[in-house]
Homo-oligomer: A and B are copies of this chain.
Amino acid sequence: MSRIDAQLAFLIEADKLKTVLRGTTLCDGARRENSGEHSWHIALYALVMAEHANRPVNIDRVIKMLLIHDIVEIDAGDNPIHGDHDPAEQDIIEKAAADRIFGLLPADQAQSLRALWDEFEAAETDDAIFAKSIDRVQPVISNLETGGGTWPAYNVTAAQLQSRVGVKVERGAPAIWSALRTRIDAWFAQHTG
């Protein structure tokens, strides 16, 4: 198989990410967001909000990470952060998905994109930590824009939002979380007793 044919096989497979539905909706609440358009949106978030990374990042690498970060969901599905899934089991499924999907590419590209995905998943480098922060910010905005979004359905408390989301956003982009806290606190003050 030629390099272009292998690349096209990967890109055609990637199209399926547009059919993986996430827990959160669009900002107008009309329908659930899919993981393809989510990946575009957070790459744009990273591009625009790079200055708020708390440590120096290579924003070009961050954007590439975000473009591929969810591609394993084609096989593994999306797991809402406030849902209940077994992280260890999910990890095995996602690694198998990464083997299969990145494996469609020519070997050198399969290896480099897989390494970038592994780095994102490990969340240890500054680039990956910031990428993870951005990935967590966008659904919060969607929820705030849609009157709480999925928070009421999952009975999320302000403390849970802080421990599941806030801590991760603060790790890479504390200034963004600080700005959101005003909006979040206002929502919880209004909607919980």
Binding site for B on A (CB under 8 A): 2-5, 7-8, 10-12, 14-19, 26-28, 30, 33-34, 36-37, 39-41, 43-45, 47-49, 51-52, 60, 63-64, 67-68, 105, 109, 138, 141-142, 145, 175-176, 179
Contacts and interface: CB of A to CB of B under 8 A. Distances in A.
Contacts of A19: 26, 28, 30
Contacts of A2: 179
A176 to B, nearest CB: 6
A2 to B, nearest CB: 7
Contact of A48 (B11, B16, B45, B52): B11
B141 A11 contact: yes
A14 B48 CA distance: 12
Q: Count identical subunits in the complex.
A: 2
Contact of A41 (B3, B27, B36): B36
B36 A40 contact: yes
A51 to B, nearest CB: 8
B49 A67 contact: no
A12 B141 contact: yes
Nearest to A108: B51
Contacts of A105: 48
A48 B10 contact: yes
Contact of A49 (B7, B41, B47, B63): B7
B179 A11 contact: no
